[in-house]
């Protein structure tokens, strides 16, 4: 990960601040930074979003293509996550430098979507064993300002919400074959149901307290954090400890509880925004990446 | 797909023939006598076998067997850092690799590590690094290689436990050993300790669309200093169920401590 180099005294200053529930930017331990989300920003995608959280900037584009289903679940569609860390965000991402971080992020996304409810993949099936929709979610990290996991998951949910899949018709052709026909109208699409789509909440342990939405500076002071996938109803979908430190077993229930509450609030705020965005459709001018 | 030109080329993609047959999978994890597929009770872990010093060339090594799950681990180092970027003046670098033998699982595994292998290696690294006193090994690296010979579920806990045992065998300074355990959650109050392959959670194995409280949880523990070094969960779980599963896992990992200690002592007596 892009590391900020801090001296010992700077680290102690941050940790003591957290201990007193007052962080460097004036937030308390459970406060999130301001989030900006915009959907439908890239014309060549089926769904897209751009997110800014403090100094973290993430862009997500979703493309849906036709493919063959996984033989383990022949009736379902597929969803793939690819994360790319741009060297613009941090010079250390040059070449293969960003690979570790991007594989970490895509693995945790795969982990939280690895169940039947997050995205109902059976709605993406077309012809069992033969054809299905393959959803490619491509995440581009443009700036690292801490808390990448949460930022990416919010952007992914926003872009999936915005994703329109063409309403295709399957008709029986000659000799038992089946034919797929696309609608003529490009706006004849169905939207993916994101009601149960989880969001990631990273709870970082610093000193004896834990914080959410850590900035890059704070991240370098924390050596263990818990990344939890939370649904709108406050259930968990996948969790992983990150970092090279260890956690006190007594603090884990508290951390999960914090993650659950923060996750619910995030969902409510995001859903409200997505509803507004959807209503406005094409009326507003997109800001895009500045 | 990247291929390895040095090996004989197999077909680009192939499937397990079992997928095309009509094999009836058991619908439930418990039979009518409250027994699991391999004749265990729900909260009964498999018998574990641990041994140190199985690879003579390595600085330290360990072998772990949980019935049909077989894992071998060797530790090399401390030695010079190979890559200049990884050099640290005040602490050492721990490197982990978890590799499945191509024939270890029900499907054929590729020789080239895929995304899952990379994630597994990273999970292993994060689970054992809190236990190693890396500040005692400045400017050097310690390599941990875990090879899964046979996979019948709960590979990660076996890998973590054997890696910590191999580090002890190599004489690396540590705060504590690491023991790990996993459970399969199936419903409100059903935690199956130490699941076998057929009991493991996978999206394709779920029959109903309602999959609440179906999943897996793994916990790695430093048992003497009571610290959790890794938590991993997958599946749709209510937080009360998740916490219950974490407690079960922690307890089960704690129980492994005496076994690990015994095998360390017996390796020194030799």
Residue B269 is predicted with a pLDDT of 82
CB B143 within 8 A of CB B76: yes
Q: How far apart are CA B173 and CA B22, in angstroms?
A: 53
H-helix or E-strand spanning residue A100: helix A99-112
Whether chain A has a CB inside 8 Å of the CB on B42: the answer is no
Grade residue B208 by pLDDT with cuts at 50, 70 and 90: low
What pLDDT shows up at residue B231? 94
The CATH number of the domain holding residue A195 is: 3.30.230.70
First-to-last C-alpha distance (Å) of chain B: 48
Higher pLDDT, B133 or B18: B133
B95-151 pLDDT per residue, tens: 999 999 999 988 888 888 888 899 999 999 999 999 999 999 999 999 999 999 999
Identity of the residue in B202, B227, B242 whose CB atom sits nearest the CB atom of A236 = B242
Are residues A241 and B231, on separate chains, in Cβ contact within 8 Å? yes
Number of structural domains (chain A) is: 1
Domain of residue A261: give its range: 32-279
| Residue A26 is assigned to a structural domain of this protein | no
The pLDDT score that the predictor gives to residue A128 is: 86
- A183 to A79, A167, A186, A209, B26: CA distances (angstroms): 23, 6, 7, 55, 42
| Cβ neighbours, 10 Å, residue B154 | 28
Would residue A22 count as lying in a domain? no
Is residue B114 within 8 angstroms of chain A, CB to CB? Answer: no
Distance from CA of B9 to the nearest CA of A (A): 23
How many CB pairs lie under 8 A apart between chains A and B?
119
Q: Identify the three-state secondary structure at position A69.
A: coil
* A19 domain-assigned: no
- Distance between CA atoms of residues B137 and A30, nearest Å: 37
Question: For residue range B168-206, what is the model confidence (pLDDT) as tens digits?
Answer: 999 999 999 999 999 999 888 888 999 998 888 877 766
Q: Is a pLDDT exceeding 60 seen at residue B209?
A: no
Determine, for residues B203 and A116 on separate chains, whether the beta-carbon distance falls below 8 Å.
yes
Contact between B170 and B143 (Cβ < 8 Å): no
Higher pLDDT, A272 or A289: A272
Instruction: Say if residue B85's pLDDT is above 90.
Output: no
Comparing CB atoms, the residue among B129, B232, B238 nearest residue A239 is: B232
SS3 B235: strand
Each residue's pLDDT tens digit, A190-226: 888 888 899 999 999 988 899 999 998 999 888 899 9
Question: Of B49, B58, B57, B60, which Cα lies nearest the Cα of B268?
Answer: B60
Helix (H) or strand (E) holding A111: helix A99-112
A39: nearest Cα among A230, A284, A234: A284
Contacts of B246 in chain A (CB under 8 A): 252
Q: Any chain A CB within 8 A of the CB of B19? A: yes
Rounded to a whole number, what is the distance in Å from the CA of B6 to chain A's nearest CA?
23
Q: What is the mean pLDDT of residues B65-78?
A: 93
* A156, A60 Cβ separation under 8 angstroms: yes
- The reply to whether residue A120 touches residue B209, judged by beta carbons under 8 angstroms, is yes
pLDDT confidence bin for B1, thresholds 50/70/90: low
Q: Residue A278 pLDDT more than 80?
A: no
Contact A252 B203 (CB under 8 A): no
The ipTM, to two decimals, is 0.89
Q: Name chain A contacts of B204, Cβ cutoff 8 Å.
A: 70, 72-73
Residue B183 has a pLDDT of 94
Higher pLDDT, B28 or B116: B116
**pLDDT for the residue A86:** 85
Q: Packing angle between helix A99-112 and helix A148-161, nearest 10 degrees? A: 50
pLDDT at A168 over 60: yes
CA distance A156 to B5: 37
Closest residue in B to A196 (Cα) is: B236
Smallest CA-to-CA distance from A166 within A255, A282, A87, A65 is with A65
Domain B41-269, architecture per CATH: 2-Layer Sandwich (3.30)
- Assess if residue A27 is contained within a domain: no
In a domain, A18, yes or no: no
Mutate to test the interface with B, among A8, A238, A246 (most CBs of B within 10 A): A246
* Range among A2-6, A77-81, A283-287 rated most confident: A77-81
Residues 6+ apart with CB under 8 A from A13: none
Is B231 close to A247, i.e. CB distance below 8 A? yes
The answer to whether A15 touches A210, Cβ cutoff 8 Å, is no
Instruction: Name every chain A residue with its beta carbon within 8 A of the beta carbon of B236.
Output: 115-118, 231, 235-237
pLDDT value of position B198: 85
CB A259 within 8 A of CB A12: no
Contact between A247 and B227 using a beta-carbon 8 Å cutoff:
yes
User: Is position A42 within any domain?
Assistant: yes
Q: Round the average pLDDT of chain A to a whole number and report it.
A: 88
A120 neighbourhood in chain B, CB within 8 Å: 209
Mean pLDDT of A70-74: 84
Q: CB-based contact (8 Å) between B164 and chain A?
A: no
How do the domains of chain B map onto residue ranges? 41-269
Q: Collapsing DSSP states into helix, strand and coil, what is residue A180?
A: strand
| End-to-end CA gap in chain A | 24
The CA distance from A72 to the nearest CA of chain B, in Å, is 6
Three-class SS state of A259: helix
């Amino acid at each position: 990960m892009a590391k900020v180099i801090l001296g010992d005294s700077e680290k102690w200053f941050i940790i003591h601040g957290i201990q007193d529930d007052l962080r460097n930017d004036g937030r308390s331990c459970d406060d999130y930074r301001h989030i900006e989300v915009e959907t439908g920003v890239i014309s060549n995608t089926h769904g897209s979003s751009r997110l800014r959280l403090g100094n973290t900037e993430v862009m997500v584009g979703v493309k849906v293509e036709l493919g063959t289903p996984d033989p383990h679940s022949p009736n379902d569609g597929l969803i793939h996550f690819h994360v790319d860390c741009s060297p613009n965000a941090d010079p250390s991402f040059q070449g293969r430098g960003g690979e570790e971080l991007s594989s970490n992020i895509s693995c945790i996304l795969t982990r939280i979507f690895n169940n039947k409810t997050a995205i109902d993949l059976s709605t993406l099936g077309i012809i069992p064993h033969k054809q299905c929709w393959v959803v490619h979610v491509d995440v581009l990290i443009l700036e690292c300002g801490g808390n990448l996991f949460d930022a990416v998951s919010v952007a992914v949910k926003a872009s999936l919400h915005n994703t329109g899949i063409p309403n295709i018709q399957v008709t029986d052709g000659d000799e038992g074959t089946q034919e797929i026909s696309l609608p003529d109208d490009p706006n004849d699409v169905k939207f993916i149901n994101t009601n149960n789509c989880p969001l990631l909440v990273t709870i970082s342990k610093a000193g004896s307290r834990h914080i959410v939405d850590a900035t890059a500076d704070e991240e370098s002071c924390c050596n263990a954090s818990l990344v939890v996938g939370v649904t709108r109803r406050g259930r968990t979908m996948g969790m992983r400890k990150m970092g090279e430190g260890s956690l006190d077993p007594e603090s884990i229930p508290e951390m999960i509880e914090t993650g659950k509450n923060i996750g619910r609030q995030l969902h409510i705020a995001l859903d409200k925004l997505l509803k507004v965005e959807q209503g406005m459709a094409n009326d507003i001018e997109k800001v895009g990446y500045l | 797909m990247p291929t390895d030109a040095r090996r004989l080329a197999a077909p680009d993609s192939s499937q397990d023939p079992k997928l095309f047959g009509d094999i009836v999978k058991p619908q439930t994890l418990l039979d009518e006598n409250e027994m699991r597929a391999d004749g265990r009770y729900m909260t009964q872990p498999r018998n574990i076998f641990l041994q140190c010093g199985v690879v003579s060339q390595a600085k330290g090594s360990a072998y772990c067997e949980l019935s049909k799950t077989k894992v071998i681990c060797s530790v090399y180092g401390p030695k010079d850092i190979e890559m200049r970027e990884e050099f640290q003046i005040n602490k050492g670098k721990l490197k982990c690799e978890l590799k499945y033998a191509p024939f270890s699982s029900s499907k054929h595994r590729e020789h080239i590590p895929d995304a899952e292998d990379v994630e597994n290696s990273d999970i292993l690294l994060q689970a054992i690094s809190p236990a190693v006193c890396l500040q005692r090994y400045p400017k050097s690296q310690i390599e941990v290689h875990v090879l899964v010979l046979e996979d019948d579920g709960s590979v990660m806990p076996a890998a973590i436990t054997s890696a910590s045992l191999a580090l002890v065998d190599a004489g690396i300074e540590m705060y504590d050993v690491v023991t790990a355990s996993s459970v399969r959650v199936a419903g409100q109050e059903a935690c199956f300790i130490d699941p076998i392959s057929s009991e493991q959670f996978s999206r394709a194995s779920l029959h109903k669309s309602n999959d609440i409280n179906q999943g897996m949880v793994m916990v790695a523990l430093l048992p003497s200093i009571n610290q959790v070094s890794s938590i991993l969960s997958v599946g749709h779980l209510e937080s009360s169920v998740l916490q219950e599963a974490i407690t079960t896992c922690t307890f089960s990992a704690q129980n492994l401590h005496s076994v690990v200690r015994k095998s360390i002592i017996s390796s020194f007596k030799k």
